[in-house]
Amino acid sequence: MSKRTIVSLPGDGIGRTVLEETIRVLDAAEFEADYVEGDIGWDFWRTEGNPLPQRTIDLLEKHKIALFGAITSKPKDEAFEELAPELQEKGLVYSSPIVGLRQHFNLDICLRPCRTYKGNPLNFIRRGPGGVIEEPEVDVAIFRQNTEGLYGGVEWSDPPEIVHEALMTHPKFVKNFGKTPKEELSVSTRIFTKKSTERILRAAFEHAKKYGYKSVTVCEKPNVIRETSGMMYKMAQQMQKADFPEIELWNTNIDAQMMWLTKNPENYGVIVAGNMFGDIVSDGFAGLIGGLGFACSAQYNPDSGIAVFEPTHGSAPKYADYETSIVNPIAMIESSCMMLDFIDENEIAKKIRKAVADVIAEGKVRTYDMQKMPGRADVIEKGAASTAEMADAIIAKL
Ligand code: NAI
Ligand code: MG
């Protein structure tokens, strides 16, 4: 079989370290690939005025599959000040390159799995009957609509007259906001389309079917947000009836779900939600299985097959310049396993996940987060494993 080409997008800060270590693990697991590095992130904003150069978009268009570390974003004023002097006259505005990738390739499906590793000291525990300590085994796959909803960017402060007039056609607007001066209004819209809602629901149901989950839970708020959440739940009911009768459809409200999260997380399988609620519920579940050092994700477009795999953490700039990197590479390594599953290299994915599980279960090699240490350069002296040592331990188990 010919070697695959994977686009590596290290980005900024610890994104670079965790991606490098992950490629070491992939090589050791005998995944045969060539990696081409794509330019993305803060340096390219500073020097070229564009954190996502066209050449990077072209690379992904060509090779389709990317591993992404993390990028640094900074507030508007700082972004401007750090821009090369000759670019400061050009009226450039910084926007996040990962959001840019999402939009350019319509990576509308975001999958964030959260699985408990036995022996992880960060696992959620609770008290059961008689005061016994229980450690529920979490295995959920959260499907988050990645391009619409409250993060769709359609918003105004002091909206244009025509928008205000349109709002004034709604009786509830007239009743609750009709007397508020226009310039005192900020409006963020929550737009769902049938097409994207259908795609995220189908992705969720198909995942449940493929991996044997018994239920799909729509986690929204259809009793209050009747139009958007309501549409999603109704479409889920129709889809379940027509195409997935063997899978149970559950319906939870986002607020209640965040409470049940710690009560009975082991009961949930696949969860599907719009953009913002998907973001919230996936962070909630990630907290039960170890947090940012463990939270992996995929973003993809089922039609084009273009997919980007990344840890959900950011570039953690405060750790970026440590002589020995201390951050946990597992979230990035797990993200690469999602990539392997996506391109049907399931055996290699299984092998790597088993090696990670073995290292965690053995408990000898733990990064600072797993030891609940405050993140500082001296954690290595205090017995925490470095990023590279964690990768070495995983490689040794392969
Ligand atoms: P962050 O995720 O970079 O770091 C928050 C804290 O989480 C860190 O200080 C550290 O204590 C912990 N942490 C993160 N990754 C870890 C790992 N692998 N192992 C152990 N501990 C880890 O979020 P923060 O500090 O809010 O943002 C830093 C920069 O990253 C910002 O510029 C932000 O815009 C960007 N960012 C980028 C994302 C992306 O590339 N997708 C996502 C989130 C933030
Ligand atoms: Mg988030």
One domain for residues 133 and 265: yes
Residue 393 lies in a domain: yes
Atom of ligand 1 nearest to the CA of 375: 11
| Rounded average pLDDT over 179-201 | 97
- The CA-to-CA distance between both ends of the chain, in Å, stands at 22
One domain for residues 65 and 177: no
- Mean pLDDT of the residues in the chain: 96
342 Cβ contact partners less than 8 Å away, ≥ 6 residues apart: 65, 298, 300, 307, 309
CA of 86 relative to ligand 2 center, distance in Å: 35
Is the pLDDT at 1 greater than 70, yes or no?
A: no
One domain for residues 60 and 177: no
CA of 57 relative to ligand 1 center, distance in Å: 24
Is the pLDDT at 202 greater than 60, yes or no?
A: yes
Residue 297 lies in a domain: no
Atom of ligand 1 nearest to the CA of 368: 20
Provide the domain limits for residue 136: 124-151+190-288
| Rounded average pLDDT over 33-61 | 97
One domain for residues 283 and 219: yes
Q: Where does the pLDDT of residue 76 fall: very low under 50, low under 70, confident under 90, or very high at 90 and above?
A: confident
Residue 365 lies in a domain: yes
* Res 259: pLDDT: 92
Beta bridge partners of 248: 215
19, 313, 334, 335, best to mutate for ligand 1 pocket (most atoms within 8 Å of CB): 313
Kindly identify the ligand whose nearest atom is closest to the C-alpha of 75. 1
- Report yes or no: 138 and 266 within 8 Å, Cβ to Cβ: yes
Provide, rounded to the nearest whole percent, the portion of the chain with pLDDT above 90: 96
Total-model pTM: 0.95
Is the pLDDT at 138 greater than 80, yes or no?
A: yes
Domain-terminating residue out of 288, 321, 344: 288
One domain for residues 181 and 195: no
Atom of ligand 1 nearest to the CA of 15: 40
Provide, rounded to the nearest whole percent, the portion of the chain with pLDDT above 70: 99
Q: Number of folded domains in the chain? A: 3
The residue among 96, 56, 67, 71 whose CA lies nearest residue 15 is 71
CA of 19 relative to ligand 1 center, distance in Å: 14
* Res 3: pLDDT: 85
